[in-house]
Amino acid sequence: MSQTAAVIANDASFANVLHELKWRGLVALSTDAEELEKALAGAPITFYCGFDPTAASLHLGNLVQLLTMRRLQLAGHHPLCLIGGSTGLVGDPRPTAERTLNTKETVAEWVEKLGAQSARFLSFEGANPARMVNNLDWTAPMSAIDFLRDIGKYFRVGKMLSKDAVSARLNSENGISYTEFSYQILQGLDYLELFRRYDCVLQTGGSDQWGNLTAGTDLIHRAEGKSAHILATPLITNSDGKKFGKSEGNAVWLDADLTSPYAFYQFWLNVEDADVIDRLKVFTFLTRDEIEALAAQTAEAPHLRAAQKRLAFEVTAIVHSAEAAQAAIDASAALFGQGELASLDESTLASALGELPKTTAAAGTPITQLLIETGLVDSISAGRRAIKEGGVYLNNVKVEAEDAALNDLIHGKFAVLRRGKKTLAAIFVG
- Report the CATH number at residue 275: 1.10.240.10
Which whole-number Å values give the CA distances from 315 to 269, 284, 308, in the listed order? 10, 6, 11
DSSP letters spanning 411-427? TTTEEEEEETTTEEEEE
Number of domains in the chain: 3
Same domain, 152 and 26: yes
Is the pLDDT reported for residue 246 higher than 80? Answer: no
Query: Do residue 298 and residue 409 come from a single domain?
Result: no
Residues 222 and 206 in one domain: yes
Report the interhelical angle of 273-283 vs 306-319 (nearest 10°): 30
For residue 147, what is the DSSP state?
I
Last residue of one domain, picked from the residues 218, 235, 252: 235
The reply to whether 259 and 227 lie within a common domain is no
- Shared domain for 317 and 371, answered yes or no, is no
CA distance 15 to 30: 20
- Mean pLDDT over 60-65 rounds to 96
Structure confidence by residue, pLDDT tens digits, 290-331: 999 999 999 999 999 999 999 999 999 999 999 999 999 999
Q: Are residues 202 and 301 in the same domain?
A: no
Q: Indicate the average pLDDT of the chain.
A: 92
Looking at residue 102, its pLDDT comes to: 92
Longest Cα separation, the chain? 83
126 and 202 together in one domain: yes
**Are residue 161 and residue 272 in the same domain, yes or no?**
no
Question: Mapping DSSP to helix (H, G, I), strand (E, B) and coil, where does residue 429 land?
Answer: strand
| Statement: residue 198 has pLDDT above 50 | yes
pLDDT on residue 13: 47
Domain end among 314, 340, 355: 355
pLDDT of 389 above 70 = yes
219 and 266 inside one domain: no
- CATH number of the structural domain spanning residue 141: 3.40.50.620
Structural domain of residue 231, as residue ranges? 3-235
Q: Is the domain of 29 the same as that of 168?
A: yes
H-type alpha helices, 173-229 = 178-181, 183-198, 210-224
Checking if the pLDDT of 245 tops 80, the result is: no
Whether the per-residue pLDDT at 10 is higher than 50: the answer is no
Residue 134 sits in the same domain as residue 267: no
- Choose one of 235, 267, 288: the last residue of a domain: 235
Q: What are phi and psi of 59, to 5 degrees?
A: -135, -170
How far is the CA of 146 from the CAs of 138, 140, 182, in angstroms?
A: 12, 11, 15
Residues 67 and 146 in one domain: yes
Question: HSE on the CB side for 118, CA within 13 Å?
Answer: 34
End-to-end CA distance of the chain: 43
Amino acid, res. 375 = G
| CATH number assigned to the domain comprising residue 413 | 3.10.290.10
DSSP symbol at 164: H
